[in-house]
Amino acid sequence: MKVFAANSPSPALSETVAVITEWVRVPFLSRQRRLLIALLTVPALQFLLGAFLPAQAAEASLDSSDNTLLLISAAMVLLMTPGLAFFYGGFVQGRNVLNTMAMSFVMMGIATLVWASFGFSLAFADGGAAQAVVGNPFTFALLERLPEVWDGLAVPGLTFALFQGMFAIITPALISGALVERISFRFWCLFTPIWLLLVYSPLAHMVWGGGFLGKDLDFAGGTVVHISSGVTALVLAGLIGARRQWPKAIRPPHDVTQILLGTGLLWFGWFGFNGGSQLAVGGAEIPFTTTHVAAAAGLVAWSVVETWRDGKPTAVGMATGAVAGLVGVTPAAGFVTIGSGMAIGAITAVLCYISVQVKVKLRFDDSLDTYAVHGVGGTAGALLTGVFANAELIASHPAGQVLAEQGRGALVLGQLQAVLVAYGLAAIGTFLIAGVLRGLGVQFRVTEEAENLGVDVAEHGEEAYAERVGSPQLF
């Protein structure tokens, strides 16, 4: 007989306890396994979802896709300025090509600093009592105190400011086309920053920053960019006068291939200019497509008119027609259908062609047709936007209510109002700024010797084609 210690349990009791312990332990371990599996599964699902679904920013109100669109578009719009430099540079004579290109390139420096300092704030900050016409220059000075998410969008405030800054770079660069081969580079570098602060930024605020023109349609800069630069070019060209020996000594562009290269860069960058102005990925396919078909229609329309009048199309005409189409569709890009975009491009190109012929008849030296293309094209585009605007596409815009309640005529009249304001502000502002600078003794025009021998050497001490300097009769 087996003897047990005094307090030890009986075998039957021990077996019972063992069974109960195992019964409790197994479910417990099972629960542990389930918990462990869950802990491993959650991050795995997060990884898979992150790989196959659109990434979302930490903030629910930010959209990384929209942010990417604007950042890429900003880079594309910046590329337009070198493209413009090549476009303009191909038109002028070889002894002036560096100066012509430099007037565009220098804006990548000057305009950037002006925009980051006070320009953006003037254009997009709350102006308080002056909100109808201009923003507070100190609210976002030096791009400080920008909101993490720009109001009404799903992108950071800094992204929005950067994107809009690229428009401020190319707009004054456009002006230079009317003044090439004779304007003082020093005057240019003093005039443009003041113009950006007193003309461009207030106009941008009136149209895009909550000002009194916000009810009118300007998708990407028909009034803000093209009319303002075109009218400014017209005024300055009138003040500075024609090039010496013009139009008797008119010579063809020194490098048409350079013009075509510039046109290609401009066309590519315009996808960011107009397409990016959708400010969101959703719906961006419309301005991207209308931009392209308008350029194509402008190119073809200009070529057809040239062939009808002169018997053959020119490469320069094709390039100019494409740019005219792009200018015309700029205020309309996201507000019209594809067919309407095509019509706007063709109509604008024909009107710009006529304006170039009128300029020649009037013997007015708008050297590279800045007003004839950007002023006239921007004006035509702004008015045609009112004519062709699609009710569904402008439903969320204040102009949509105007169209619904007052009809198409009221919409076009609103567009005309914006055009007239842009003309007045650009013309008066330009005249006053130029007058003050000239009154302070700033040289407006290069010397006769510099103009005859070449502005490149006189203004920059360098030349693009060394063998051509001093031989103006040959190029």
pLDDT at 35 over 50: no
Name, in order, each residue with C-beta under 8 angstroms of 389's C-beta and a sequence gap of 6 or more. 217, 332, 335, 336, 399, 403, 411
pLDDT at 411 over 90: yes
Which tokens belong to 17?
């306890």
Task: Compare 29 and 227 and report the one with higher pLDDT.
Answer: 227
Strand, helix or coil for residue 183 = strand
255: left (phi over 0), alpha (psi -120 to 50) or beta: beta
In angstroms, the CA 236 to CA 463 distance is 26
* Whole-number pLDDT of residue 424: 98
Q: Angle at CA 70, nearest 5°, toward 65 and 72?
A: 95
Q: How confident is the model at residue 112 (pLDDT cuts 50, 70, 90)?
A: very high
pLDDT in tens, 59-85: 448 999 999 999 999 999 999 999 999
pLDDT at 471 over 80: no
pLDDT at 231 over 80: yes
Strand, helix or coil for residue 333 = coil
* Whole-number pLDDT of residue 248: 79
In angstroms, the CA 116 to CA 110 distance is 10
* Whole-number pLDDT of residue 310: 94
Dump strand ranges (E) for 243-363: none
* Whole-number pLDDT of residue 314: 97
Task: Compare 141 and 251 and report the one with higher pLDDT.
Answer: 141
> How many Å from the N-terminal Cα to the C-terminal Cα in the chain?
129
* Whole-number pLDDT of residue 186: 97
Which tokens belong to 106?
């220098």
* Whole-number pLDDT of residue 467: 59
* Whole-number pLDDT of residue 468: 53
Q: Which of 34-38, 158-162, 210-214 has the lowest mean pLDDT?
A: 34-38
Strand, helix or coil for residue 445 = strand
**DSSP states of 150-178:** -TTSSS-HHHHHHHHHHHHHHHHHHHGGG
* Whole-number pLDDT of residue 17: 43
pLDDT at 58 over 90: no
Which tokens belong to 341?
């975009």
pLDDT in tens, 422-452: 999 999 999 999 999 999 999 999 999 999 8
pLDDT at 12 over 80: no
In angstroms, the CA 281 to CA 66 distance is 5
* Whole-number pLDDT of residue 251: 80
Q: Return the DSSP state at 379.
A: H
pLDDT in tens, 248-272: 777 889 999 999 999 999 999 999 9
Beta bridge partners of residue 445, listed in sequence order: 183
For residues 126 and 77, is the Cβ–Cβ distance under 8 A? no
Percentage above 70 pLDDT, the chain = 85
What is the mean predicted confidence (pLDDT) over 38-65? Answer: 52
In angstroms, the CA 201 to CA 325 distance is 25
What is the mean predicted confidence (pLDDT) over 417-421? Answer: 98
Q: How confident is the model at residue 233 (pLDDT cuts 50, 70, 90)?
A: very high
Which tokens belong to 45?
């699902």
Task: Compare 94 and 8 and report the one with higher pLDDT.
Answer: 94
pLDDT in tens, 448-464: 999 988 999 999 999 99
In angstroms, the CA 231 to CA 440 distance is 24
* Whole-number pLDDT of residue 22: 53
pLDDT at 13 over 70: no
pLDDT in tens, 343-393: 999 999 999 999 999 999 999 999 999 999 999 999 999 999 999 999 999
Task: Compare 245 and 259 and report the one with higher pLDDT.
Answer: 259
Q: Angle at CA 262, nearest 5°, toward 257 and 265?
A: 130
Mean pLDDT of the chain: 89
Q: How confident is the model at residue 37 (pLDDT cuts 50, 70, 90)?
A: very low
